A and B are shown apart, each in its own frame.
Chain A
Amino acid sequence: MGRVVVERVTTFKKSNEAFWWSLFSAGGVMSALFLPVMVVLCGLVLPWQSGEGDRRAAYEHIHGLVSWWPVRLVLAGVIALSFFHVAHRIRHVLIDLGWRHQTAPLSLVCYGGAIAGAGMTVWLIVSL
């Protein structure tokens, strides 16, 4: 059997983990609080409303509600932070599933995607 050489690591590479973790954590709270009700509303309630008049009224109401600036702020925070949450988790799942080498492109895609998603969110909400 070959010798096992144990390398003692005395220095740590500088890491941005704490920064991304804080965004992950904030997004985790926001998504845990807001997403279940949003899935129910967007997926189950709004599509099945009957009657053209009701639907148009619902659209006008939701558009007005989402355009109100406190709602815009909250919604932008929820969606943008949730993007960072899922990006961080997906990155870690893929590392856990075996993507252990060359993780730089993985981080780039995950966090780059989150930044793009958050940017899109803010842009769409501002231009409502």
Chain B
Amino acid sequence: MKRRYCTPLGPTWFLGRAGYRRFMAREATAFAMAAFLVYLLFLLRGLGRGYHDYLEIIELTKNPIAVFVLSLIFGAVLYHSFTWFNLTPKIMPMYVAEEKVPDFWAAILMGYLPWAAVTAVVLWGVLWWSG
């Protein structure tokens, strides 16, 4: 029988160090995102069914608990964006003429600028581009 040695790690191992805690906070954003994605599915269903179904789903977000949960989700999603864009240059270094672009600028070019553009276009599309 094959036996593997496993280091005895409890489920709270990450609390010991600030870096581990940040890692776990980043990974845990996935739970909040999953909840929001499921909400989006309900919203899409409401959109497809008509005005009253849409309104019913959108009204759900108005009670205080939902506002609290949504703020948590917003924090988690923002944290994901920041950590993701800051990591991008480390995973995918950027070169211009054989010269490595500093991580700071690479993160802005590959992450923050596209993010700003996407945010602006979506806001414009939903809020202002109504005939």
Contact = CB atoms under 8 A, between A and B. Distances in A.
Interface in B14-66: 14, 24, 27-31, 33-34, 36-41, 43-45, 47-48, 51, 54-55, 58-59, 61-62, 66
B6 A100 contact: yes
A40 B122 CA distance: 11
Interface residues of B, number: 58
A33 interface: yes
B9 interface: yes
- Dominant secondary structure at the B interface: helix
Given A35-B80, A43-B70, A97-B11, A79 B27 contact: no
Contact of A31 (B41, B70, B77): B77
A108 interface: no
Contacts of A31: 33, 77, 80
Contacts, number: 143
Contact of A33 (B58, B66, B118): B118
Contact of A83 (B37, B45, B58): B37
- Dominant secondary structure at the A interface: helix
Interface string B86-107: 0000000000000000000000
B61 A47 contact: yes
Nearest to A75: B44
Interface of A: 4-7, 28-29, 31-48, 55-63, 65-66, 71, 79, 82-83, 85-87, 89-90, 92-93, 96-98, 100, 117, 120-121, 124-125, 127-128
